Structure 1
Amino acid sequence: MKTSRILLSGTAALALLGTSACVTDPNTGEQKISRTAIGAGIGGTLGYLLGGAIGGNTARIIGAGIGGSAGAVIGKQFDDQIRELDEMTEGSGVDVEEVGDGDAILVRLPDGVTFARGSADINPGFYDTLNTVAESLIKYPNSLIDVYGFTDTTGSEALNQGLSERRAEAVANYLASRGVARSRIETRGYGESYDFLRVKTGDGVNEPLNRRVEIKIIPISQEDVSAARSN
C-alpha cells in the first residue's frame, strides 16, 4: 500500500533529491522521482489543504443535492474508498493520501505525466487512470470534490496562474464527462506556488516538480447536510 497517513505542512519546497531517487514512470518510460524514496522527507501535505471545501460546504452541498452518509457508515466508506483508489491506481504514479483524521482523501496526479510542459491538455495515456478515479467518485457520491491545478516555474507568474486554472478545469471537465456530477466539483489554480518537491539536476539546478493536479475528496455526512439546509 502506498497510502500514507500524513501531517499537514505549509512548506513549499519539500525536499532536495539526487537522481538516485528516480524510477521509470510506467506511462511514459521517463525517469521520475520515486515517491517511496522521498516519503520520509516530504513531511506532509501542503498548507492550502488546511481549509475546507473551496467556497465552503453549505451552498455546494445544497447545489449538488448530496444526501450525506450516516455517521456509522461514513468512516467505513472513507476507508473503503481510499483503499480501492490506492489499489486501482497502483503503478500509475498516482499518490493517494488521507488528509487529517478522515477529513478528506487527496489524489495527487503525477508531475510531468498528466500534462506536457505549457499545456492544459490531458495526456491521452492518462485517461484510463482518470477513468478509475471517476468510477470511484460515482460509486461514493456523498462527497464534494476540489480540483487543484499547479505549474512549474517556466514562463511568467500570470501565464502560469492561468495555466494552472485551465489544468484544474480540464481534469474537472473530464471527470464530469465520465459521469461525475459537475455540481460536486469546484476548481482552483495555484500557478507555480506550492512546489511538491525540488530535484537537483545534473547541472546542479533545483528544478521544481509541479506540473500536476490534485483531487481532494471531502466526505459529507448527514449531519453536514442537515446543517447546510438549516442555514
Structure 2
Amino acid sequence: MMISKLPLAIAAASLTFVAACDTTGPNQRQNTQQGALIGALGGAAVGAIANRDESNRERNQSALIGAALGAGVGAAVGDNLDRQAEELRRQLRSDVGVSNNGRNLVVVLSQDLLFATNSTAVSGVSQRELGIVANSLNNYPNTTVNVIGHTDNVGSAAFNQDLSQRRAQAVASVLVNGGVSSSRVRTLGAGLTQPVASNASAEGRQANRRVEIVITPN
C-alpha cells in the first residue's frame, strides 16, 4: 500500500539530512541544512511516485535513492547561498545590507548612497560596492538576479514609479558592465509601494529609499 512506504521515505530523508549537517561552519550552515532537508524530502517523494507501479520494496529503494540525490542538490544550493552571503558581508561596506533566508540572498543599498537627489547616476562609492557584487555573481553563476528600486512617498506615485525603475536599471547596468550576463538580470521599479519603515519620519523615508538586489538560485 502507499502508506507502507511513507514512513521509510520520511526516515530516509531525515537520516540523509542529519548526515548532511555541518555544525562547524558559520551559523552552523543553517541554510545548507535546510536545503538538504527540503531536497531529501522532495527527492524521496519523487523517487516513490516515479516508481509507483513497482513493488513496495522497489519503491522504498527508489525513495532512498531519491532522498540521497535530493539532499545533495539541496545542500549544495544552501551551501552556496551561505558562502556567498559570508563573502559579501566581509567585502562590502557595513552600511550595505546582506540577508539570506535560505531561498534567496538580498543585498540592499540605500539610494542615498547610490544616487544624488533626483539623479540616476550611480555614485563612485557605489560603483565600487556594485563591482564587488558583480564579481560575486560571476563566481556564483547559477542564479537569477532581480534588481528592485524603491522610493519613499515624497512626490507623486507616477514620479516615484518612474524614478525607481530608472534607478534599478542604472544599478543593473553596472552589474552587467561588471561581467554579469544580461540574461540573468531583471529590473523592477516598485516605487513607493513596498516600504520597510514609516514614511512619517526622515529616518523611515531614508530606509525606504533603496535598491534591492535579490539573488535566487536557478
Mark yes or no: TM-score above 0.5. yes
Cα distance in 2 for partners of 1:81, 1:151 equals 27
Taking only the aligned residue pairs, the percentage that are identical comes to 38
**TM-aligned CA deviation for residue 200 of structure 1:** 6.6
CA distance in 1, matches of 2:77, 2:204: 40
Match of 1:208, SS state, is: helix
How many aligned positions are there? 148
| Distance across 2 between alignment mates of 1:207 and 1:218 | 27
Indicate conservation of the 8 Å contact 1:97/1:106, yes or no. Answer: yes
- Amino acid in the other structure paired with 2:133: V
1:179 maps to 179
Task: For structure 2, list consecutive stretches of 5 or more residues without a partner in the other structure.
Answer: 1-25, 31-71
Amino acid at match of 2:187: T
Determine whether 1:80 maps to 2:83.
yes
Q: Find the counterpart in structure 1 of residue 209 from structure 2.
A: 211
Runs of 4+ in 1 over 3 A off after TM superposition: 69-72, 198-201
How high is the TM-score relative to the length of structure 2? Answer: 0.62
More strand by share: 1
Q: Secondary structure at the match of 2:114?
A: coil
Looking at both structures, which has the greater relative contact order when contacts are Cα pairs under 8 Å and sequence separation is at least 6? Answer: 1
Q: Distance in 1 between matches of 2:162 and 2:173?
A: 16
**Could you say which residue in structure 2 is the equivalent of 1:97?**
99
Residues 13-49 of structure 1: per-residue CA shift (max 9 Å, x gap)? xxxxxxxxxxxxxxxxxxxxxxxxxxxxxxxxxxxxx
- Residue in structure 2 matched with residue 137 of structure 1 by the alignment: 137
The corresponding residue for 2:113 is 113
Contact 1:163 1:191 in 2 (8 A): yes
CA distance in 2, matches of 1:163, 1:171: 12
Query: How many angstroms apart in 2 are the aligned matches of 1:196 and 1:114?
Result: 18
Of Structure 1 and Structure 2, the greater helix share is in 2
Please identify the structure whose Cα radius of gyration is greater.
2
Which consecutive residues of structure 1, in runs of 5 or more, have no partner in the other structure? 6-68, 221-231
Shift of 1:148: 0.3
- CA RMSD in angstroms comes to 2.3
**How far apart, in 1, do the equivalents of 2:162 and 2:145 lie?**
20
Distance in 2 of aligned mates of 1:134 and 1:123? 16
Task: Call closer, same or farther: CA 1:167–1:214 in 2, change over 3 Å.
Answer: same
Q: Which residue of 2 aligns with 1:157?
A: 157
